[in-house]
């Protein structure tokens, strides 16, 4: 592989390309070469692995992944970073770079074309993304919100000399952009892709929340959704000084090991798309809005129903209405999510919440568009 760029050289190269790390993309570049090597070692990557990397950045981790893996598919949303890393990684023979937003239009779920292409590759060895070529540019399509410059249509640059090598395992290994780390991990778990393992760099507090087990201090919505699909553990605590720009918080290397889902005994690999899972996810969203209140009070506030009624629903599902939401077991939450009286009210509350989020997003987009027009640069 090409030698990774040292920090001084990286800064000069980025200056030459007219780019800099963007806060809105959560870009913090990992500059410690020993730690980059340790990540690859911890992931136990070999030539039988196809590795998905989300957040190519300057390509430092990407190069080490390519050294070990059979095939690497690396995704980057920032056009400047995509161009820089493409040039830095020239000559690597087992890499496919994709310029696209890893998340779909709504920010929920991985990009549909990316998921479909990886699923086809794992089934047949064919990678449909390779047929995309240089299609796509920085998004200006009609489905994007004003001021939204995220890449929606893939632009693909293949470093392969022929057909992709055949790999039997799929892993996700990445220094995830801080701004979307939780969303990307949950989306990857929900995608139905047959990940054998995930090893990702995230903020330490995010790692604590994702790795939490039922009944523990940090248990909440992220850990509940993760728990449905995978076991998790924090492998390493990483200081801020090894990143540029230096973040204000420490990071952690988080390992996720997917397992057959806990509620259907592995009979449904598409549990992430099942009605039961989406009911559970909607309930958790509204219930955990008031974490410090008793579960009956939290549900009453979220659904605008009397406390006595919400208490009866929780008791009917085998739970204690006096416990806090995070103290209810996942099994109780699953039953409550499918309760005939509760489910329609939760759906209505979530629709209202989503309407409010959409209105807020539209305001932020209009503000970004105004700043672009007035100051000539992105916020």
The pLDDT of residue 372 is 80
Last residue of one domain, picked from the residues 210, 226, 258: 258
* Residue 268 within a domain: no
**What six digits make up the tokens of 79?**
């056009």
* Residue 374 within a domain: no
| 37-48: burial string, b at 16+ Cβ within 10 Å, e else | ebbbeebebeee
Assess whether 153 and 49 both reside in one domain: yes
CA 233 distance to own-chain centroid: 17
Assess whether 170 and 318 both reside in one domain: no
CATH classification of the domain holding 278: 1.10.8
**What six digits make up the tokens of 76?**
């980057």
* Residue 371 within a domain: no
Assess whether 59 and 194 both reside in one domain: yes
> Is residue 322 within a helix (H) or strand (E), and if so which, with residue range?
none
The pLDDT of residue 150 is 64
Query: The tokens 């991985």 sit on which residue?
Result: 110
The pLDDT of residue 365 is 83
Could you give the CA distance from residue 217 to residue 292 in angstroms, rounded to a whole number? Answer: 12
> Is residue 126 within a helix (H) or strand (E), and if so which, with residue range?
none
**What six digits make up the tokens of 337?**
């999510």
Could you give the CA distance from residue 37 to residue 187 in angstroms, rounded to a whole number? Answer: 26
The pLDDT of residue 151 is 65
* Residue 1 within a domain: no
Q: What's the pTM?
A: 0.88
Residues of the chain below pLDDT 70:
1-2, 106-107, 133-152, 264-269, 357, 377-379
Residue span of the structural domain in which 183 resides: 7-258
The pLDDT of residue 128 is 95
Last residue of one domain, picked from the residues 197, 228, 258: 258
What confidence tens digit (pLDDT) does each residue in 85-143 have? 999 999 999 999 999 999 987 667 999 999 999 999 999 999 999 987 654 333 333 33
The pLDDT of residue 378 is 54
Picking from 148, 65, 134, 40, the residue whose alpha carbon sits closest to that of residue 101 is 148
- Number of compact structural domains in the chain: 2
**252: how many CB neighbours lie within 10 A of its CB?**
22
The pLDDT of residue 106 is 67
Could you give the CA distance from residue 198 to residue 258 in angstroms, rounded to a whole number? Answer: 8
* Residue 321 within a domain: yes
Last residue of one domain, picked from the residues 258, 290, 319: 258
Alpha helical stretches, state H, 29-175:
33-42, 60-68, 79-88, 112-124
């Amino acid at each position: 592989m090409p030698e990774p760029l040292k920090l001084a050289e990286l800064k000069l190269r980025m200056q030459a390309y007219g780019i800099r790390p963007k806060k809105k993309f959560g870009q913090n570049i990992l500059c410690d070469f020993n730690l980059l090597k340790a990540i690859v070692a911890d992931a136990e990557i070999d030539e039988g692995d196809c590795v998905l990397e989300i957040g190519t950045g300057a390509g430092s981790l990407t190069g080490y992944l390519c050294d070990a893996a059979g095939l690497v598919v690396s995704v980057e949303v920032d056009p400047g970073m995509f161009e820089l890393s493409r040039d830095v990684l020239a000559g690597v023979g087992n890499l496919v770079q994709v310029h696209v937003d890893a998340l779909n239009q709504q920010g929920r779920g991985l990009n549909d074309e990316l998921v479909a292409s990886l699923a086809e590759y794992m089934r047949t060895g064919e990678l449909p993304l390779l047929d995309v070529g240089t299609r796509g540019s920085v998004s200006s399509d009609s489905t994007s919100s004003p001021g939204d410059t995220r890449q929606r249509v893939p632009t693909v640059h293949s470093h392969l000399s022929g057909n992709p090598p055949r790999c039997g395992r799929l892993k996700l290994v990445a220094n995830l952009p801080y701004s979307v780390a939780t969303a990307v991990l949950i989306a990857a778990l929900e995608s139905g892709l047959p990940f054998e393992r995930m090893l990702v760099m995230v903020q330490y507090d995010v790692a604590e929340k994702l790795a939490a087990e039922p009944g523990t201090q940090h248990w909440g919505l992220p850990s509940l959704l993760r728990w449905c699909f995978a076991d998790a553990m924090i492998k390493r605590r990483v200081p801020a000084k090894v990143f540029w720009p230096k973040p204000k918080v420490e990071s952690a290397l988080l390992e996720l090991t997917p397992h057959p889902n806990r509620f259907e005994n592995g009979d449904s690999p598409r549990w992430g798309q099942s009605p039961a899972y989406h009911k559970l996810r909607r309930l958790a969203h509204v219930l955990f809005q008031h974490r410090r209140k008793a579960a009956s009070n939290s549900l009453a506030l979220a659904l605008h129903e009397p406390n006595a009624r919400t208490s009866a629903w929780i008791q009917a599902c085998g739970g204690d209405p006096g416990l806090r939401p995070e103290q209810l077991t996942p099994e109780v939450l699953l039953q409550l999510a499918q309760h005939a009286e509760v489910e329609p009210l939760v759906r209505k509350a979530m629709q209202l919440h989503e309407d409010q989020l959409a209105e807020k997003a539209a305001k932020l987009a209009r503000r970004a568009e105004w700043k672009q027009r007035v100051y000539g640069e992105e916020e």
